[in-house]
Amino acid sequence: MRVSAPVRATVQRLTLPILIFISALLAVLGKADVLLFDRVRVLLADTLAPVLQVAGEPIASVSNAIGVVEDVVTVYRQNQELEIENQRLLQWQQVARRLESENEELRNLVRFAPQGAVSSVAAQVIADSGGAFLRNVLVDVGRRDGVARGQPAMTGDGLVGRVIELGDRTARILLLTDINSHIPVVVEGTHERAMLDGDNSDQPRLVYVQPKTPVKPGDRIVTSGSGGVFPPGLPVGVVASVKGMIRVELYADLARLEMVRIVNYGLDGVLPETAIPGSRAARARTDPAR
Amino acid sequence: MSYSWHRDYFGFVARMVPGTTTILFTLMSLLPFHVPSFGSIAPSFALMAVFHWTVYRPDLLPLGVVFLAGLLLDLLNGTPYVGLSALVLLLVRTGVLSQRRVFSRRPFSVLWLGFLGVAIGAFVFEWAFVSLMQVHFMVPRSFVFQTLVTAACFPIGSYVLALAHRAMPALSA
């Protein structure tokens, strides 16, 4: 195509301001139409998941190799630690057996129906957020594996976060440490409800605690089940410090996430997209004339 | 390093090298490196690529590719501010392009220092933007670390890009 020189020069001169304007506009107004971006994002993540998986392979093998060397170095110390831990666990096993039988008797008394996990699926982390202000990971399971929005992601140690975005074969987990993560929790033993708010630091804050509540370092924090997104009692962490702000040390090591388990407790407390005020789906539903 | 004699003889494939490597570098910063806490301080490879090519061959790194790389990064890393990285990369390209003379035919240390300045500028901008949008004073620690890690990794990134740069004449043959 032949374009006259002045026209081409004008187009070239305008490209930069236009692109800068578009990106600034997107960045500022992006929150206005979250759903559209979510859809594009999910599509892109689904499409690029195989690429990211393959690209991650060599890194995984290198880190595995490093892991093997580390293991050999630390095996003696670990063995000693494990023996001590084993002793302690055997004692706990006794306690647990006793409690279990006691629990069963009590359950028979009240005909209690346990609300356990319906199913769970193991997922591998295929992408880190790679940003200083983001705490999320992309995992390699999605809708086709039975994952749904709002489901909790756990490691063996405790809660990690929840599913916020869902594709057919990918899901994005918002970690508890992200500034947009707010989880209803309870301080075990006090029955005192509070919120666990991430602020992008390693230890999320415990907020909305009643002033008179005696919270002290070492107190266990578990999910409260309020809101119906998480079941009550999922282990979250322990209170690390109470000076000024109450901070919680998480059980799960979010710094080295490789595998997580996404658990389906059969809860549907998470709001459907149509219930988000101002979202396209909601507008379409409430205003059929459009 | 002078490539000026090849300037107009590059074939189609060779001309694609700056754009392609920029996109690849962008994807690289998303990979899980399984290093503790790496995700939040991962070096911004996209920034390196945009800086490198703007200094050496700005003619072969179109604005559209810079914009796309930023948009791709934002869409894949799950940020609520889609467009922020695109904005930062475009500003970096504009800034570096205007100061290009400072970097041409200078020792690598000058380039590295320049990149450190650019990285500081980019991350301060991001930090200020996110703090403003969240109406919350973001802990600057991980931004500082990300700046340092990005600057520290620049020689590696720059070396890889220089290899690609040197392969360009061969690719156009």
pLDDT of residue B146 exceeding 50, the answer is yes
Q: Which helix (H) or strand (E) holds A126?
A: strand A119-128
Q: Domain A182-256 sits in which CATH superfamily?
A: Rod shape-determining protein MreC, domain 2 (2.40.10.350)
Inter-CA distances, B135 with A108, A188, B128, B129, B130, Å: 52, 32, 10, 10, 8
ipTM over 0.90: no
d(CA A231, CA A197): 18
Q: What is the CATH number of the domain that holds B125?
A: 1.10.1760.20
Residue-by-residue DSSP string for A134-193: --EEEES--GGGT--TT-EEE-SSSEEEEEEEE-SS-EEEEETTSTT-EEEEEETTTTEE
CATH class of A119-178+257-265: mainly beta
pLDDT of residue B133 exceeding 60, the answer is yes
Stretch B28-36: mean pLDDT: 74
Residue-level pLDDT at A269: 63
User: Which percentage of chain A shows pLDDT scores above 90?
Assistant: 14
Residue-level pLDDT at B8: 53
Is B90 in contact with A26 (Cβ distance < 8 A)?
Answer: no
Closest residue, chain B, to A13 (C-alpha): B63
Residue-level pLDDT at A271: 61
Domains A119-178+257-265 and A182-256 share a fold: yes
DSSP state of A230: S
Indicate if the alpha-carbon torsion angle A228, A232, A238, A241 is positive or negative. positive
For chain A, first and last CA: distance in Å? 41
> Which site among B27, B29, B31, B47 would you substitute to test the A interface, given the most A Cβ atoms closer than 10 Å to its Cβ?
B31
> Which site among A38, A48, A63, A128 would you substitute to test the B interface, given the most B Cβ atoms closer than 10 Å to its Cβ?
A128
DSSP, collapsed to helix, strand or coil, labels residue A10 as helix
pLDDT band at B22 (very low <50, low <70, confident <90, very high): very high
pLDDT of residue A274 exceeding 60, the answer is no
Residue-level pLDDT at A109: 66
Domain count, chain B: 1
Contact between A140 and A126 under an 8 Å Cβ cutoff? The reply is yes
pLDDT of residue A278 exceeding 50, the answer is no
* Number of residues assigned to chain A: 290
For residue range A27-84, list pLDDT tens digits in order: 887 666 666 777 888 888 888 888 888 877 777 777 777 777 777 778 888 888 888 8
d(CA B54, CA B103): 10
pLDDT band at A283 (very low <50, low <70, confident <90, very high): very low
Residue-level pLDDT at B4: 46
Higher pLDDT, B113 or A227: B113
As a whole number, the mean pLDDT across chain A is 81
pLDDT band at A1 (very low <50, low <70, confident <90, very high): low
Q: Which domain holds residue B48?
A: 4-172
Is B40 in contact with A135 (Cβ distance < 8 A)?
Answer: yes
Strands (E) in chain B, as ranges, are none
Residue ranges per structural domain of chain A: 32-109, 119-178+257-265, 182-256
pLDDT of residue A157 exceeding 60, the answer is yes
Q: What are phi and psi of A194, to 5 degrees?
A: -155, 175
Indicate if the alpha-carbon torsion angle B101, B107, B109, B112 is positive or negative. positive
Of residues A176, A143, A141, the one with CA closest to residue A247: A176
pLDDT of residue B70 exceeding 90, the answer is yes
Of A125, A137, A179, the CB nearest to B136: A179
Residue-by-residue DSSP string for B54-95: HHH-GGGS-HHHHHHHHHHHHHHTT-SSTTHHHHHHHHHHHH
pLDDT of residue B1 exceeding 60, the answer is no
**What are the structure tokens assigned to A108, written together?**
């028979």
* Own/partner pairs, A205-213, CB within 8 angstroms, 24+ separation: A205/A245, A205/A246, A205/A247, A205/A248, A206/A239, A206/A246, A206/A247, A206/A248, A207/A246, A209/A246, A213/A187
pLDDT of residue A132 exceeding 80, the answer is no
For residue range B148-158, list pLDDT tens digits in order: 989 999 999 99
Residue-level pLDDT at A281: 47
Closest residue, chain B, to A53 (C-alpha): B31
Q: What is the pTM of this model?
A: 0.72
Of B27, B41, B127, the CB nearest to A55: B27
d(CA A44, CA A176): 24
User: Which percentage of chain A shows pLDDT scores above 70?
Assistant: 85
3-state secondary structure A233-290: CCEEEEEEECCCCEEEEECCCHHHCCEEEEEECCCCCCCCHHHCCCCHHHHHHHCCCC
The reply to whether B13 touches chain A by the CB within 8 Å rule is no
pLDDT of residue A189 exceeding 80, the answer is no
Contact between B55 and B49 under an 8 Å Cβ cutoff? The reply is no
pLDDT band at A175 (very low <50, low <70, confident <90, very high): very high
Residue-level pLDDT at A196: 93
Look at strands A259-264 and A246-250 and give their pairing.
unpaired
